Amino acid sequence: MVNEETVFFSRILTELTLSFHIIYATIGVGIPLMIMISQWVGIKKQDEHYILLARRWARGFVITVAVGVVTGTAIGLQLSLLWPNFMELAGNVIALPLFLETFAFFFEAIFLGIYLYTWERFENQKKHLMLLIPVALGASFSAVFITMVNAFMNSPQGFDIVNGQLTNINPIVAMFNLSMPTKVSHVLVTAYMTCAFVLASIGAFRLLNGSKHVYHKKALFLTLKLGLLFSIVTAILGDFSGKYLAEYQPEKLAAAEWHFETKEGAPLIFYGVLENGEVKYAITIPYALSILAHLKPNAEVIGLDQFPNDEVPPLYIHYLFDIMVTIGMMMILIAFIYVIGIWRKWRFVLSNGFNWLILFGGPLSILAIEAGWWLDEVGRQPWILRGIMKTKDAATTNTHVDTMLILFAGLYFILGIGSIVVLTRMFRKNTVEQELADHGLEKAGDSL
């Protein structure tokens, strides 16, 4: 018999773990690419500031990797403990990418170690740069493989169930399921985008904190250029994701857009509130949902009226969609204004006021990542395996999940505070100015 309290605490603990882990996982995927690009730019321009930038980012990255390993292990443990019925099925069908993710991480970790401990051993920096290629590939493929598992939960395939038994299992078909292309590409690009804006936020903080060194200005310009590029690609991929949802998960799209009735020429709804089932105070864009879903202004979009009430996702995911889109559009605008402003020599983009906008952009980008994952996971409810297994049927019958929740919350609190303290002390005791002086680079490359 289903224990509703156990299901509730299992969902809360899983949400807490994923919400905490996704921060470090996003950093783990995106930062290696940022390091590689910075070192490549430094070699190409013969500018030691960019090479030092890569070196300092790499030091901080190691700390986040260590925390990410702990939280990633916690997720694997909790999947088995909290959702045993799901893992019994998934273990037979979709275990392959879970193993491959582990190998990808080891591949990344081995070359990251070699990269970190061979800074002084390469006279030719290009050879040292080559070590970052497997690091970046390993990090990205870790995300690819684990996202395949999540995509499988949204569009399960690669098996049949006959008389309650699994048959015709094909792990490759399960991995390359229908939602895999849009989900994997979106996860990768948003990780790159978020890391670019987080690193830009750090550069803006140093400038606001009184440093006038060109090193931080170069860091800001590089990361915001990359952030602009990846945010534009993210918007394009978001459009593809909308079309996928319209075709294969229409209930999620309808819930996210508060689209209650199936009709042609459906509008796109931003913000607003629900009062007695009626949408009020919203910004409505006529025909936009039909265009998003089918590229036709008069196309029919399936509404929530086509689904049983017990299969309709929670309607608050509309606000998660709004948060994600609003922050994304805001960051595109900030990055675009800054990059154009540097080229056109607009002085206001160098002001403290604009640096405050960039500073807040980092945490807001993390919030957008969180909102996107909550939208994806909550928007699949009530299913843990869409159309096959409901979340309540997958949960453990153990009655001590509330105790586990308290223990894991304490662990994440310690890890979060600890990583912030370690990173802060690491860079406070080893400032950019000091490191440049130690290497005799005070006057290296004084312009963008």
**In the numeric block, which tokens belong to residue 360?**
């807040």
Q: Are residues 282 and 175 in the same domain?
A: no
Q: Show which of 323, 351, 379 is a domain's final residue.
A: 379
Backbone φ and ψ for 117, nearest 5 degrees, come out as: -100, 15
**3-state DSSP call for residue 418?**
helix
Residue range 342-352, pLDDT digits in tens: 888 888 888 88
**For the segment 43-74, what is each residue's pLDDT rounded down to a tens digit?**
888 878 888 888 888 888 888 888 888 888 88
Q: What is the pLDDT of residue 59?
A: 84
- Pick from 308, 296, 303: nearest CA to 262: 303
- Residue 167 CA to residue 74 CA, distance in Å, equals 30
CB of 336 closer than 8 Å to CB of 349: no
Residue 326 lies in a domain: yes
Please give the full DSSP string across 14-30, using - where no structure is assigned. HHHHHHHHHHHHHHHHH
Determine, yes or no, domain membership for 78. Answer: yes
Residue 276 lies in a domain: yes
The answer to whether residue 386 is domain-embedded is no
The Cα–Cα gap between 47 and 243 comes to 44
**Contact of 80 with 91, CB cutoff 8 Å:** no
Of the chain, the end-to-end C-alpha distance in Å amounts to: 65
The secondary structure of the chain in percent helix, strand, coil, rounded to multiples of 5, reads 75, 5, 20
Residue 384 domain-assigned (yes or no): no
**Tokens (6 digits) for 388:** 């096959």
Average pLDDT over residues 103-108: 85
Looking at the structure, tell me whether residues 173 and 227 fall in a common domain.
Answer: no
Alpha carbon distance 407, 405 (integer Å): 6
Which of 379, 403, 418 lies at the terminal end of a domain, its last residue?
379
Domain interval for residue 212: 180-248+250-379
Strand partners, 301: 263
As a whole number, the mean pLDDT across the chain is 85
Residues 286 and 335 in one domain: yes
Mean pLDDT, residues 145-168: 85
User: pLDDT over 90 for what percent of the chain?
Assistant: 13
Q: Are residues 196 and 49 in the same domain?
A: no
pLDDT band at 436 (very low <50, low <70, confident <90, very high): low
Return the H-helix or E-strand segment holding 392: helix 391-394
The 10s digit of each residue's pLDDT in 84-96 is 888 888 888 888 8
415 band by pLDDT with thresholds 50, 70 and 90: confident
Confirm if 66 and 426 have CB atoms less than 8 A apart: no
Residue 79, Ramachandran bin (φ over 0: left; ψ between -120 and 50: alpha; else beta): alpha
The SS3 call for residue 162 is: strand
One domain, residues 221 and 329: yes
- Cα–Cα distance, 384 to 339 (Å, whole number): 43
265 φ/ψ sector (left φ>0, alpha ψ -120 to 50, else beta):
left
In a domain, 75, yes or no: yes
∠151-174-177 over CA atoms, to 5°? Answer: 50
Boundary-marking domain end, from 324, 356, 379: 379
Reported as a pLDDT band with limits 50, 70 and 90, residue 440 is low
Residue 317, pLDDT > 70, answer yes
Residue 388 belongs to a domain: no
pLDDT at 197 over 90: yes
Largest CA distance in the chain: 74
Give the whole-angstrom CA distance, residue 428 versus residue 319.
38
Domain match, 19 and 165 both: yes
DSSP SS3 for 285: strand
The full DSSP string for 211-273 is ---HHHHHHHHHHHHHHHHHHHHHHHHHHHHHHHHHHH-HHHHHHHTT--S-EESPPEEEEEE
Report the C-alpha gap between 179 and 155 in whole angstroms. Answer: 6
321 and 438 in a common domain: no
Model pLDDT for residues 229-264, shown as the tens digit of each residue: 999 999 888 888 888 888 888 889 888 888 888 888
User: In this predicted structure, what is the pLDDT of residue 228?
Assistant: 92
Reported as type and span, the H/E element at residue 92 is helix 84-93
Within this chain, do residues 216 and 359 fall inside the same structural domain, yes or no?
yes
Judge whether 389 lies within some domain: no
Q: Verify that 92 and 227 share a domain, yes or no.
A: no
Quick one: which of 237, 208, 203, 206 has its CA closest to 223? 203
Asked if 92 and 117 sit in the same domain, the reply is yes
Q: How many domains does the chain have?
A: 2
272 and 355 fall within a common domain: yes
- Co-location of 1 and 146 in the same domain: yes
